[in-house]
Amino acid sequence: MADPFVHLHVASGYSMRHGASHPGALVERAAEHGMDTLALTDRDGVYGAVRFVTACVAAGINPALGVDLAIGPDEPPQVRRAAKVERDPKLPRATVLAVGRTGWASVCRLVSATHLGGERGTPVASVARIAQHASSVIVLLGPDSAAGRLVASRHLAAAAAELARWRAVLPPECLYVELVHHREEGSAALMRRLAAFAAEQGVPTVLSNAVRFADRSGAPVADALDAIRRLVPLTSRHVDGTNAEAELKSGKEMGLLAEELLGSASEARRLLARTRAVAERCVLDPKTDLGIGTVHFPELAAGVDAARALRQRCDAGLARRGMGASMEARARLEHELDIIGQLGYPAYFLTVADVVDMVKEMRIRCAARGSGAGSLVNYALGISDVDPIRYGLLMERFLSPYRKELPDIDLDVESARRLDVYEAIFDRFGADRVACVSMMDTYRVRHAIRDIGGALGLPPGEIDLIAKSFPHIAARQVRDALAQLPELQASGLAGSPRLEQLYTLVEKLDGLPRHVAMHPCGVLLSDATLLDRTPVEASYLGFPMSQFDKDDVEQLGLLKLDVLGIRMQSAIAYAIGEIERVDGQVVDVDTVPRDDAATYELVQSTKTLGCFQIESPGQRELVGKFAPMTFNDLIIDISLFRPGPVKTDMVTPFLQSRHGWKEAALLHEDLRFALEETHGVVIFHEQVLQIIATMTGCSLSEADEVRRALSDPEGIARMRAWFRPLAARRGYRVEIIEKAWAVLEGFAAFGFCKAHAAAFALPTYQSAWLKAHHTAAFLAGVLTHDPGMYPKRLILDDARQFGIAVLPLDVNISDDSYRIERVSVYDEPPPSILGEVPRPVPADGLPDARRYGIRLSLADVKGITDAEVARIVAGRPFGGLSDFWQRAGVSRPVVERLVLAGGFDSLYGIGLSAPVRRRGQVTRRDLLLQVTDLERWNDGPATRRRRPPGSGTAAARGADPGISSSFGASRSFGDSSVGDTRALAAAQSQGAAPVLPVDVQMSFDVGPADIIPSGLPEMNRAERVRAELDVLGLDASGHVLELYEPLFAALRTTRAKDMMKCRSRQQILVAGVKVATQTPQVRSGKRVVFITLDDATGPLDATFFSDAQIGYAATLFHSWLLIVRGTVRRTGPKGISMQAEGCWDLTSVFTTWRSHGIEAVHRQLALPADGYSRAAIEGAAASRSTRPVMTEPPRKLWHASPGSSGG
Amino acid sequence: MKSYGDPVLVELAREAPAQFWWRGRRYAVTQVLDHWLVRGAWWDAPSPTLDAEQEIWRAEATAGRSLGVFDLCFDWESGAWSLVVHD
């Protein structure tokens, strides 16, 4: 039965820390009541609007939309930045509902203006602000409005004046007084007064229920959210609701409330009828009013025909690519342009091409990723750089006339310049056409535990422990996790009523929005009506950001371009710059031939650390077995190394055929063209499409629809019935059809889009090419931009393996990045004189980079700021420590760290490790004493207030976070329009301002006399390595394991470089620095832990299966230096790995060895393992992710370290 | 407030208290002054239950010559009535 009542004031979870239900749950509830219309009026924004409307359409409910805003004074008080004492100032509120398309535009623009007008994160509107956006809106003033509160406190004259302000700015019949009766103590009487007041003032009333949750069970969640919002533990004082009445009640219940309030059935009926009438005015049409299902591209210049312009650019592009004469290319281009024209997307491609051209003009590296590489149009336009015809890539996988969804082109740009690209897009298209996409961060288990735990007043330490004990899972899975994870079962984290309350509420927070942030890459491009269709607010970095997320904007037909910052692109750009600077050679990696033998030799050697996509332990094992020889091989390699192919073991049959151990099965001669490249193993979506199209005679676009249908069982059955008769009609034998179908069914879900892999293979090839030909410059780029999965110290060790000299930190040479320098092939003086090992000659077939050194960077000194680095670089050369102290303006701890890490060694001739020191030689310890003296002198009475010069300059201040940026936009409160959203958003930026170039004084009074040697001993080699690890996080002057070499010799551990000599199933001991642990989710629930160790001769990979983890988990997850015992597992000619059986902390074994000898060590390794500990639980939870968890040196590394003398 | 939480026997008419018996006397409700719902401070309760709710009628009632204002509380969880007297 239809329920005529309409809820006009409804908050969903998108009212952050206020609403307790998802929009979908509210719609479902309304549908259960039989309601035909429902409004969503979230607080401060319309974040949930698209989801709400979509749910409404699905449920057959008419949607209405509005926003519930805090209302402040018309003239806001001048900026109060620091004083954010009041977490929730409880400002009065008003609800603004949209009427039709114009009303929706008003609401969008009002929300934008409200967010951009004040302080970021605390949107406050005003009557004046609403007056500017009042066309086609309806305003509801309820008990929580200023007027409502004045009536409550019986200031009727003031209430009337307040109402008059609203009446003065709103068109007639657009202002209503909203009655809300939550059956709280005194609320009935209050509502009667409010109704009487409204009647007296001649303002009509409506009835709402100010809904905060779908049903009563949401009430405790709302209580908890109140406390969370106010950052206080739950007490009656901090909870807004006193009962569970703010639910989405049925019309019948609302009718009873009306009668209870007004005391007369007829008056109640009239109230409900007025409410209904308002609702009917507010119903929005998803398509015509909101634009759902339409498309809006940026306008082209007047008179330009998009299709013709696109054709011209493609023709020119093909000619540039040297394909102008190819018939195949021409035909393919026609076909693609035809489909693009049919779909009406020419403007889309032109826009993307425009952006790509612009980025390239800025000399920023840019490459398309994803299925877009399958399109010849993209190749011709320069959006993609992989020839789709040559590599058999299909456009149909990217764009299809059967799918009316916008194609998705993602652009990879240099990470370090991503924001420059954003700025350029805003400049090019204008802030009224561009916005960033937002991303709604929702509650998952750990955040939910933290917030609910805080609301329940649990001790912070306890909350922290409980939260960390859980893996990163959805909040609703909290009890499953408790039941299933062995560490948690053993931990006593279940059982008490308090914790039961906690978990119940945690489950209820599941998926509720908690924080809106800028999507890492999405940029919206639209026409000049963009801001009529989406509100924007300022992102943290001061970009205008749509309140809609990536799925929402797609629904709204807004062109979204993903501009991803890729560190590898920055590393490549950096390497190219270093080659040019040092060698004077201009390298264009985009045009180097893709069949370079040296590059493939490097890949096959598995020395691929730092290379894009092929540096992980698993990939190194795979390239070792596979031995890629062509660009197409790289594409296949990348496609094979994915969960699907690995799980279904597509790799083995492929490699068997590849190495000629088994004959390739090509299904049928007709399919040879598609399957030959992968030896009959179906790896790519493109191959699935070709099989379907070839065997049934359908088009490739249709074939892609079939492929999509194969993802669910019902689709499989349907497609099987379609496929078999068609293939039979084309003369294929039954066995062939059955075989082909089995392949399609089995692999369709796992296959990978070849275009996607090809786009990835490009930076893979380019990085490998650079590593093969310009090893030092490439690794300097990797060290500077840190693109990969390994800690920098492992990359530095990799550099050593290629003969590259690691040059120490030097305040007069080191830069803000890792620079390469030319050095002689042989060290001077010969290292043997100093008692050091000479740099190794790289192994056969590897590039020899002994002519280069990599200079350590100032940027990695612990605690150093960008401004300090800039001042050091600007102030060079420094004559000595006191000169540096006076001019560089670097804080004392950082100066001390520079000393400890050897940054002043060259200034004072501090030798690296000369066995005999000259008499009177200054040592690093002397320099440290000097720092203390310098500081004392500076703080002396005469110069008490003097700070190191520079530390008070604009640049230094600018680098402090929290100070607004220099974009220089004026705040424009109360102006008549939104103005330029870019300038307003920039004014709210919370990011650090860029460090500006600095002038550093070149001379200064000297201060205390320069260094007098005190006779303190120099730091020994071990101490230096330790200091470097502490200060830089890397061991530069030697490998950290050098100190343990005698133990390794005594224990006869196996080194990484000798692993290939091991027999299969041989039992070995290895030792090394833990560089990564990875714990993928395994369906069986048995956890597998992969670890990578670095033992100074290369990386070593070991696998812990669950039985091997018992008792060793704490050591495995918490020790940095490990000894591992295990069995060798050979997987191919160059494939080797190790199955671990146990592990021990290296430092503790070393201590045993030093004090009790080798027998004691063997006894220690033979002891049974310990059980679970708290450390094991935390470590296990932290590592439980599919991505590797990187291991950095621990802060307290040396509690049981060797060779400490006077440290 | 004189007493708090005394048990009381209540008779309803049209879903509202009509009369009640307290300390051996019968009180007739003359007027319901307010009626509301309130949830306790569930966060202070030791039980994991989160939805305990009380329904309260503030009623003017007489027993013979004496007239008073009483809060009649119905606890939805236990199904028990209790009474608070206002002076």
What average pLDDT does this structure show over A433-456? 93
What average pLDDT does this structure show over A952-957? 38
Is the pLDDT confidence value at A962 over 60? no
Q: Which residues pair with A1091 in a beta bridge?
A: A1077, A1102
Instruction: Compute how many other C-beta atoms are within 10 angstroms of the C-beta atom of residue A102.
Output: 14
Top-confidence residue, A364 or A788: A364
Q: Which tens digits make up the pLDDT trace of A711-765?
A: 888 888 899 999 999 999 999 999 999 988 988 887 766 778 999 999 999 999 9
Top-confidence residue, A1177 or A583: A583
Is the pLDDT confidence value at A293 over 60? yes
> Kind and range of the H or E element at A1101?
strand A1099-1104
> What pLDDT, on a 0 to 100 scale, did the predictor assign at position A1193?
53
**Phi/psi of residue A660, nearest 5 degrees:** 75, 15
Is the pLDDT confidence value at A1166 over 90? no
Torsion of the alpha carbons at A611, A615, A621 and A625, rounded to the nearest 10: -20
Dihedral (CA of B27, B32, B34, B38) sign: positive
When pLDDT is cut at 50, 70 and 90, the band that residue A298 belongs to is confident
Is the pLDDT confidence value at A304 over 60? yes
Interchain CB contact of A952 with B (< 8 Å): no
What average pLDDT does this structure show over A414-428? 94
What average pLDDT does this structure show over A1148-1168? 87
Q: Give me the DSSP letters along B7-41.
A: E-EEEEETTEEEEEEETTEEEEEEEEEEEEEEE--
Interchain CB contact of B75 with A (< 8 Å): no
Interchain CB contact of A500 with B (< 8 Å): yes
> What pLDDT, on a 0 to 100 scale, did the predictor assign at position A2?
82
What average pLDDT does this structure show over A462-473? 86
Range with the lowest mean pLDDT among A584-588, A696-700, A1013-1017?
A1013-1017
Top-confidence residue, A181 or A1034: A181
Cβ contact (<8 Å) for A183 and B37?
yes
Cβ contact (<8 Å) for B37 and A243?
yes
What average pLDDT does this structure show over A1176-1203? 45
From the CA of A271, how many Å to the nearest CA of chain B? 21
- The one-letter code for the residue type at A376 is L
Top-confidence residue, A668 or A166: A166
Nearest to A670 by CA among A703, A701, A692, A698: A692
> What pLDDT, on a 0 to 100 scale, did the predictor assign at position A664?
77
Q: Give me the DSSP letters along A446-497.
A: HHHHHHHHHHTT--HHHHHHHHHHS-S-BGGGHHHHHHH-HHHHTTT-S-SH
What average pLDDT does this structure show over A631-637? 95
When pLDDT is cut at 50, 70 and 90, the band that residue A952 belongs to is very low
Cβ A793 vs Cβ A1035: under 8 Å: yes
Cβ contact (<8 Å) for B37 and A245?
yes
Top-confidence residue, A631 or A1189: A631
Is the pLDDT confidence value at A667 over 70? yes
Q: Which of A186, A216, A220 sits opposite B42 (nearest CB)?
A: A220
Q: Give me the DSSP letters along A857-907.
A: PGGGSTT--HHHHHHHHHHPPP-SHHHHHHHH---HHHHHHHHHTTTTGGG
DSSP-derived 3-state class of residue A1093: strand
**Candidates B15, B31, B50, B73, partner chain A, best to mutate (most A CBs within 10 A):** B50
Interchain CB contact of B31 with A (< 8 Å): no
What average pLDDT does this structure show over A586-599? 93
Is the pLDDT confidence value at A406 over 80? no
Interchain CB contact of B16 with A (< 8 Å): no
Using CA atoms, how far apart are residues A1042 and A411, in angstroms rounded to an integer? 44
Q: Which tens digits make up the pLDDT trace of A354-394?
A: 999 999 999 999 988 888 999 999 999 999 999 999 999 99
Is the pLDDT confidence value at A1013 over 90? no
Identity of the highest mean pLDDT range in A537-546, A708-717, A741-750, A839-848 = A537-546
* pLDDT over 90, % of chain A: 51
Nearest CA in chain A to B71: A185
The pairing of beta strand A852-855 with beta strand A805-807: parallel
Is the pLDDT confidence value at A1180 over 70? no
Interchain CB contact of A451 with B (< 8 Å): no
The first and second tokens of residue A522, run together, are 């999405």
> What pLDDT, on a 0 to 100 scale, did the predictor assign at position A109?
96
Tracing tokens 């037909």 back to the chain, one arrives at A557
When pLDDT is cut at 50, 70 and 90, the band that residue A999 belongs to is low
Cβ A127 vs Cβ A147: under 8 Å: no
Nearest to A792 by CA among A1096, A1188, A1075: A1075
From the CA of A365, how many Å to the nearest CA of chain B? 56
The pairing of beta strand A544-546 with beta strand A536-538: antiparallel
**Cis peptide, bond prior to residue A842, ω within 30 of zero:** no
Interchain CB contact of B53 with A (< 8 Å): yes
Using CA atoms, how far apart are residues A679 and A687, in angstroms rounded to an integer? 12
When pLDDT is cut at 50, 70 and 90, the band that residue A935 belongs to is confident
Is the pLDDT confidence value at A1204 over 50? no
Nearest to A180 by CA among A95, A265, A53, A73: A95
- The one-letter code for the residue type at A306 is A
Nearest CA in chain B to A242: B38
Interchain CB contact of A1175 with B (< 8 Å): no
What average pLDDT does this structure show over A1045-1073? 89
Chain B contact set for A500 (CB, 8 A)? 48
> What pLDDT, on a 0 to 100 scale, did the predictor assign at position A1170?
57
> What pLDDT, on a 0 to 100 scale, did the predictor assign at position A1194?
52
pTM above 0.80, yes or no: yes
> What pLDDT, on a 0 to 100 scale, did the predictor assign at position A941?
44
When pLDDT is cut at 50, 70 and 90, the band that residue A919 belongs to is low
Number of H helices, E strands in chain B: 0, 7
> What pLDDT, on a 0 to 100 scale, did the predictor assign at position A1199?
36
Cβ contact (<8 Å) for A500 and B48?
yes
Torsion of the alpha carbons at A990, A994, A995 and A998, rounded to the nearest 10: -120
> Kind and range of the H or E element at A41?
strand A37-43
**Candidates B43, B44, B71, B76, partner chain A, best to mutate (most A CBs within 10 A):** B43
Query: How many alpha carbons lie under 13 Å from residue A214 in its C-beta half-sphere?
Result: 15
> What pLDDT, on a 0 to 100 scale, did the predictor assign at position A282?
96
Q: Which tens digits make up the pLDDT trace of B46-75?
A: 666 677 788 999 999 998 888 889 999 998
Q: Which of B39, B41, B47 sits opposite A243 (nearest CB)?
A: B39
> What pLDDT, on a 0 to 100 scale, did the predictor assign at position A1134?
66
The first and second tokens of residue A1071, run together, are 């030792």
Is the pLDDT confidence value at A1082 over 60? no
Instruction: Compute how many other C-beta atoms are within 10 angstroms of the C-beta atom of residue B60.
Output: 16
**Phi/psi of residue A439, nearest 5 degrees:** -145, 125
Q: Which tens digits make up the pLDDT trace of A99-118?
A: 999 999 999 999 999 999 88
Range with the lowest mean pLDDT among A21-30, A474-483, A493-502?
A493-502
DSSP-derived 3-state class of residue A852: strand
Average pLDDT, chain A: 85
Is the pLDDT confidence value at A1175 over 80? no
**Candidates A242, A260, A479, A508, partner chain B, best to mutate (most B CBs within 10 A):** A242
Nearest CA in chain A to B48: A501
From the CA of B13, how many Å to the nearest CA of chain A? 16
Residue A992 gets which letter from DSSP? P
Which residues, in sequence order, are CB contacts of B77 under 8 Å at separation 6+?
B49, B52, B53
First to last CA, chain A: 83
* pLDDT over 70, % of chain A: 86
Nearest CA in chain A to B41: A236
Q: Where are the alpha helices (DSSP H) in A33-170?
A: 49-59, 100-117, 127-132, 146-152, 156-169
Nearest CA in chain B to A234: B43
Cβ A880 vs Cβ A994: under 8 Å: no
Interchain CB contact of B35 with A (< 8 Å): yes
Q: Which tens digits make up the pLDDT trace of A37-57?
A: 999 999 999 999 999 999 999
- The one-letter code for the residue type at A1165 is L
Is the pLDDT confidence value at A978 over 60? no
Using CA atoms, how far apart are residues A850 and A43, in angstroms rounded to an integer? 63
Interchain CB contact of B38 with A (< 8 Å): yes
Farthest CA pair distance, chain A: 107
Long-range contacts of A459-468 (CB under 8 A, 24+ apart): A465/A1174, A465/A1178, A466/A493, A466/A499, A466/A502, A468/A1178, A468/A1181, A468/A1182
Helices A445-455 and A460-469, packing angle to 10 deg: 160
Cβ A281 vs Cβ A99: under 8 Å: yes
Q: Which of B34, B39, B46 sits opposite A185 (nearest CB)?
A: B34
**Candidates A215, A226, A236, A259, partner chain B, best to mutate (most B CBs within 10 A):** A236
> What pLDDT, on a 0 to 100 scale, did the predictor assign at position A655?
87
Interchain CB contact of B46 with A (< 8 Å): yes
Q: Which tens digits make up the pLDDT trace of A305-343?
A: 999 999 999 999 999 999 988 999 999 999 999 999 998
Tracing tokens 């429902």 back to the chain, one arrives at A38
- The one-letter code for the residue type at A355 is V
Range with the lowest mean pLDDT among A345-359, A430-444, A949-963, A1150-1164?
A949-963
DSSP-derived 3-state class of residue A83: coil
When pLDDT is cut at 50, 70 and 90, the band that residue A1008 belongs to is very low
A643 burial type by CB count under 10 A (0-12 exposed, 13-18 middle, 19+ buried): exposed
Chain A contact set for B34 (CB, 8 A)? 185-186, 188-189
Using CA atoms, how far apart are residues A620 and A794, in angstroms rounded to an integer? 15
Computed on alpha carbons and rounded to an integer, the radius of gyration of chain B in Å comes to 14
Using CA atoms, how far apart are residues A139 and A123, in angstroms rounded to an integer? 18
The first and second tokens of residue A699, run together, are 């088009």
Residue A1119 gets which letter from DSSP? -
The pairing of beta strand A513-525 with beta strand A536-538: unpaired
Q: Which of B34, B38, B43 sits opposite A456 (nearest CB)?
A: B43
Cβ contact (<8 Å) for A189 and B34?
yes
When pLDDT is cut at 50, 70 and 90, the band that residue A871 belongs to is very high
Interchain CB contact of A491 with B (< 8 Å): no
What b/e string do you get for A25-61 counting C-beta neighbours within 10 Å, with b at 16 or more? bbbbbbbebebbbbbbbbbbbbbbbbbbbbbbeebeb
Is the pLDDT confidence value at A292 over 80? yes
Is the pLDDT confidence value at B81 over 80? yes
Using CA atoms, how far apart are residues A413 and A561, in angstroms rounded to an integer? 12
When pLDDT is cut at 50, 70 and 90, the band that residue A1032 belongs to is confident
Tracing tokens 């969960």 back to the chain, one arrives at A643
Chain B contact set for A235 (CB, 8 A)? 41
The first and second tokens of residue A92, run together, are 């009065």
